[in-house]
Each structure stands twice: as C-alpha cells, then as structure tokens.
Amino acid sequence: MCRAQGEAVAGRRWRLPGTLLLLLAYVGYLLLGSAAFWALEGPASHQSAQQLLQDKWELLGNYTCLKGPALERLIQGIIKAYKSGVTLQGNSTSLGRWNFVGSFFFSVSAITTIGYGNLSPSTMSAQIFCIFFALFGIPLNLILLNRIGQLMLSGVQRCAKRLGEKLHWQEAATILTRTCALVTGLLLFLLLPPFLFSVIEGWTYEEGFYYSFITLSTIGFGDYVIGMNPDLTYPCWYKNLVSVWILFGMAWLALVINLCITLLENSSDLCQCGKKKSKELEQELMDGNKNSSPRPDDVESCSSKDTKPEDSQSEWCAQSLSETM
C-alpha cells in the first residue's frame, strides 16, 4: 500500500517536466491558432460590420420616419426570434423547426456532443430536461461508439488475417489492409459526403468538407447545418442517411484521433519502463526496507527492456538493485 502511494507521489514528481512541456505546447498551440484566426478573419469581420452599418444608415436615410431607437428594438426582436429557432423569412405558414424530425436531429446533436446550436431549448423545463438527457445520453453514446469502433477494428483484423493466409505474408497483408481501411474510411466519411451536400444543399465542395469535418470532430459550430434551408425540399432518406453517416463517421474519426494520441504519447515516454522500475526501487529504499523484498523479476525486465542507451537510467537501476540487496 505504502509503496503504491509512494509510487504515485513519485510519479507526479517525475512526470512534472512532461506535463509542463505539454502545457507549454498546448498554450503555444492556442496562441498560434488565435494569431492565425485573428489575421485571417479580422479583416472580413471588419468589412461585414462596416457593411451592416452602411445598410442600417441607408435604411434610416431612405425611410425618414424611422428613428434610431425603434430600429434597435426591431433588431433586438429579430435576434431574439432567430435565437429561439424561428424561420424569419417569408410568412408564418412555414413549418417550425421543432417538428419531430427537427427534435430528433436536435437529440442526436445533443448526445453526440456536436451541439450545432441552430436549435436550442428556450424554456426552463426543456433546459432542465436537456441536462439530464445529455447526462445519461453521452455515456450511452460513448459506449455505442466504442462498440462500433471495435467492430470496425475487428473487421479489419479479420480481413488482414484472411489475406495473410492467402498471401503467406502476414505483415504485408496487415499493412495493406490497414492502408486500405484508412483510405476507404477517408473516402467514405470525409471525401465523398461533401459531393452529396453540394448536390443537395448547394454548398461548394470546400464548404461541404468543412461541414463534414466540423461535424465528425464534434466541434459543431452550427454555421452550416444540413436540412435547414426553408427554400429547399429534401428527399426523405436524406436526414436518416446523414444520421447514420454521423454515427459511423464519428466512430471512425475517434479511432483515427486515438491513433494520433497513442503516437503522441508513445513518442513522449519511450523509456517509461526504465524510469518506472527505478522509481519503484527508489521508493522502496525511502520506505526503509520495511516491507520490501527485492523483486528480481522487475529489475530483470528493466535491464532487458532497457537495452537502448539511457546509460544513467540503467546505472541507477543497478545501483539501487545492489543497495536493496
């Protein structure tokens, strides 16, 4: 018990530089991103603000009976109505957004944590329900995604095995199948759907790709959302197909992102074995050999795995080993 606690404490001390490095990288990355967005979007935003102001003044000039405060109040009303999801253009006969299909899409966007926000609950009771709905829905969604990802992985592995048996060269088959799976996933989930969106929604390919990525990564700005243009009529299979695409695409992207994380973490702690074992030994020494029986298997595995340079580490291993003995 003591050893375990000590290990955790020692672990914190040992990992601190790594954490600090990660923190610095994180903050640096954020700063870089904010500078880039600032540079890219600042002028455009400034321009559209100017445009709006000009339009407003033009309107005030053209219709002289209008007064400033009245206009402001109208604007406030428009925005409030827009926020609660009312389609404002045209007349009131248009269907509301909270019909069944819309609510379903909202539920999907809530528990997948995409959260487009083009629709959001406005009444108190709906907000409270939304909290509890998400509280239980998000773990459920995680489990399902986990499951789908597993099925995909096992499918790929089975394919690789079968192919390896046919080719009599397991490694090549594995690499081939994995590349194939990656390319197929890329095509199926990221590169082909934008074509569908550009046909049905009338976006450019680039906009469709942007929408696909923002959706599957669960960022979900809500600046582009499918099936929301009141001027278009959508085929009935469209939204269902997109829902299925979101589910499988998210599982796939989670797999890919996870791969990235494993690569990132693997590169950061290559010599974890050597460090960990020596840490344990050090802790045993600090505990004053109370309950420590030397554990040769640990040291063996340490020295055998730690064949790579890292001289000081193995020295430290050997030293502590002799001291414990």
Footprint (CB under 8 A) of another protein, residues 53-92: 53, 55-56, 59, 62-66, 70, 72, 74-86, 88-89, 91-92
60 versus 318: smaller Cβ distance to another protein: 60
Stretch touching another protein by CB under 8 A, among 104-112, 169-177, 300-308, 310-318: 104-112
In contact, 320 and 285? CB cutoff 8 Å: yes
CA 92, distance to chain mean position in Å, is 38
133 counts as binding another protein under rule CB under 8 A: yes
Stretch touching another protein by CB under 8 A, among 150-158, 234-242, 276-284, 296-304: 150-158
What is the C-alpha separation between 126 and 313, in angstroms, rounded? 58
SS3 78: helix
What is the C-alpha separation between 312 and 18, in angstroms, rounded? 19
Stretch touching another protein by CB under 8 A, among 112-120, 181-189, 269-277, 280-288: 112-120
Interface characters, 265-304, with another protein (x: CB under 8 A): x---------------------------------------
116 versus 316: smaller Cβ distance to another protein: 116
What is the C-alpha separation between 63 and 60, in angstroms, rounded? 5
What is the C-alpha separation between 27 and 19, in angstroms, rounded? 12
> Is 302 exposed, middle or buried, given 0-12, 13-18 or 19+ CB atoms closer than 10 A?
buried
223 counts as binding another protein under rule CB under 8 A: yes
229 counts as binding another protein under rule CB under 8 A: no
114 counts as binding another protein under rule CB under 8 A: yes
Stretch touching another protein by CB under 8 A, among 24-32, 195-203, 233-241, 294-302: 24-32
Go through 90-117 and write b for each residue having 16 or more CB atoms within 10 A of its CB, e for each that does not.
eeeeeeebbeeebeebbebbbbbebbbe
Token pair 């944590």 is at which residue?
113
Residues 190-219 close enough to bind another protein by CB under 8 A: 206-207, 209-210, 213-214, 217-219
65 versus 325: smaller Cβ distance to another protein: 65
Residue from 7, 182, 196, 238 binding another protein (CB under 8 A): 7
What is the C-alpha separation between 325 and 314, in angstroms, rounded? 16
Smallest gap, in angstroms, from Cβ of residue 280 to another protein?
A: 12
117 counts as binding another protein under rule CB under 8 A: yes
In contact, 226 and 194? CB cutoff 8 Å: no
Cα radius of gyration rounded to whole Å, the chain: 29
